[in-house]
């Protein structure tokens, strides 16, 4: 994997050829805007869902996701292609800290915001340590077998959400599967530049199909456009002020450790996809994410993280230009400033979002395999096999650990589980697990770093 070129920001090279587009390359302006919109569509379902589950304003969360993405872009010098959206890691602790009942606005929102700012501050501090001391200790703490396992656990942990989204009825299932098929068809068979828009075009196909059978033939609950008609074209979000309550801050702040693991896994996955070494930018990535979380929490938004959904879009399109995320950030801000656009996006039917999620979450999970391959992880060693096998099941099964007032969800359990299992088990050749075709050869064993 080659490193990053010197300079304050990349010199983006215009490309018009088919095939992969690297982070320091750019497409024509029109394609950049459309592909940026595709990234907004990809993240919208989860970034709107997370605040709804915590009683936050989803339009405000969209607004701050755009601000956070642009801030992250500046901090990493435009090198690392990432979108920042609402983090699901905060849901359990925010609900616990605020006593949220699950419907309507959260009456204790300010308390949650104070905790989110505390998590962002801790996250930023970790990033500063990594930026000063280097990422070597992070690498030793979380080698490829661990980071790949975390990425796999994230994808599989989200899988039930996607499947549930298309399981409400038999019609929902078929609409969801049609959406999946449309995305696949566009990604593989569409001509030229259209092949670069599988999520956007596949989602549009699913939307139109649902509109036809529901609003046209009355076979399902019709899409209600009354909210779109009533919403204003432009309007400022309703900002909220944080309240710094120590008990809530102690409860929410440790989420920063989960965000570190998520971000590390995402950076490794992007590095594997692009063939570039982003390790020198890990500290800056953590700082950018931490500062963005603090800024979002200060105005009433959710905690943010680099977004797995957008990694999935990059995986299927093979377009990694960082300028796409500038476009996506600006578009998200405009959505946040337009209640009408927000209302329109919220009309996307659940089975369509579910179908898109199946594709994106599947690609996230598959990215774990690439991390393992690029890291030359030897699964004939019991230490690696047990680390991956156990932690992935913990994440996929969404095992929640409750320690006093602190709850650790499936992704967090899998994250800490993978780290602990790997470091508690001895790396002993006597513990090798024979491969299906016989014992691993010397060259395979030598591939695993000590």
pLDDT digits (tens, 9 = 90+) for 159-188: 887 788 888 888 889 989 999 999 889 888
Read off the pLDDT band of 317 (50, 70, 90).
confident
User: 68 near 304, Cβ under 8 Å?
Assistant: yes
Better pLDDT: 122 or 187: 122
Q: Can you give the pLDDT at residue 49?
A: 67
Q: Is the pLDDT of residue 284 over 50?
A: yes
138-147, 166-175, 406-415 — which is least confidently predicted?
Answer: 406-415
Q: Is the pLDDT of residue 329 over 60?
A: yes
**How far apart are the C-alpha atoms of 24 and 4, rounded to whole Å?**
9
Neighbouring CB atoms inside 10 A of 391's CB total 26
401 has which bridge partners?
408
Read off the pLDDT band of 298 (50, 70, 90).
very high
Q: Can you give the pLDDT at residue 221?
A: 83
Of 408, 252, 302, 286, the residue nearest 63 (C-alpha): 302
Q: How many residues are given for the chain? A: 450
Q: Is the pLDDT of residue 229 over 90?
A: no
Mean pLDDT over 194-208 rounds to 80
**How far apart are the C-alpha atoms of 9 and 21, rounded to whole Å?**
17
5-19, 317-331, 407-421 — which is least confidently predicted?
Answer: 5-19
Mean pLDDT over 197-216 rounds to 85
Query: Which residue pairs from 275-280 have beta carbons closer than 8 angstroms and sit at least 24 positions apart in sequence?
Result: 275/1, 275/2, 276/1, 276/2, 276/3, 276/4, 276/22, 276/23, 277/1, 277/2, 277/3, 277/4, 278/4, 278/79, 278/80, 279/135, 279/139, 280/3, 280/4, 280/135
Q: Can you give the pLDDT at residue 87?
A: 84
Better pLDDT: 442 or 168: 168
Mean pLDDT over 339-353 rounds to 78
Q: Can you give the pLDDT at residue 187?
A: 81
Task: Flag whether the pTM goes above 0.85.
Answer: no
């Amino acid at each position: 994997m080659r490193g990053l070129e010197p300079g304050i920001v990349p010199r983006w090279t215009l490309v018009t050829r088919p095939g992969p587009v690297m982070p320091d390359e750019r497409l024509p302006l029109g394609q950049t805007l459309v592909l940026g919109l595709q990234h907004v569509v990809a993240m919208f379902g989860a970034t709107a869902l997370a605040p709804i589950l915590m009683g936050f304003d989803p339009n405000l969360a969209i607004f701050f996701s755009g601000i956070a993405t642009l801030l992250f872009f500046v901090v990493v010098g435009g090198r690392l292609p990432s979108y920042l959206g609402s983090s699901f890691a905060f849901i359990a602790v925010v609900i616990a800290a605020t006593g949220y009942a699950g419907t309507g606005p959260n009456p204790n929102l300010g308390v949650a915001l104070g905790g989110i700012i505390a998590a962002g501050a801790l996250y930023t501090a970790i990033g500063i340590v990594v930026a000063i001391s280097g990422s070597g200790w992070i690498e030793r703490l979380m080698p490829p077998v661990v980071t790949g396992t975390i990425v796999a656990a994230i994808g599989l942990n989200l899988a039930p959400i996607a499947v549930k989204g298309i399981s409400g009825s038999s019609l929902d299932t078929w609409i969801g599967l049609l959406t999946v098929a449309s995305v696949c068809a566009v990604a593989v068979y569409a001509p030229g530049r259209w092949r670069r828009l599988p999520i956007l075009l596949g989602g549009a196909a699913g939307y139109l199909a649902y509109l036809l059978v529901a609003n046209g033939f009355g076979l399902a609950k019709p899409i209600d456009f009354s909210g779109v008609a009533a919403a204003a074209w432009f309007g400022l979000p309703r900002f909220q002020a944080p309240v710094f309550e120590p008990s809530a801050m102690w409860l929410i702040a440790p989420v920063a450790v989960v965000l570190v693991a998520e971000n590390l896994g995402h950076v490794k996955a992007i590095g594997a996809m692009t063939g570039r070494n982003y390790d020198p930018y890990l500290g800056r990535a953590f700082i950018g994410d931490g500062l963005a979380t603090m800024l979002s929490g200060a105005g009433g938004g959710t905690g943010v993280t680099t977004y797995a959904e957008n990694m999935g879009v990059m995986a299927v399109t093979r377009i990694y230009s960082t300028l796409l995320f500038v476009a996506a950030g600006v578009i998200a801000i405009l959505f946040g400033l337009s209640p009408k656009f927000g209302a329109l996006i919220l009309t996307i039917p659940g089975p369509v979002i579910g179908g898109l999620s199946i594709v994106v979450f599947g690609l996230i999970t598959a990215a774990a395999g690439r991390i393992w391959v690029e890291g030359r992880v030897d699964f004939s060693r019991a230490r690696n096999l047990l680390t991956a096998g156990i932690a992935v099941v913990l994440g996929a099964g969404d095992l929640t650990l409750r320690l006093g007032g602190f709850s650790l969800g499936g992704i967090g359990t899998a994250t800490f589980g993978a780290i602990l299992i790997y470091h508690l088990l001895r790396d002993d050749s006597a513990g090798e697990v024979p491969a299906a075709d016989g014992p691993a050869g010397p060259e395979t064993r030598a591939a695993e770093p000590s």
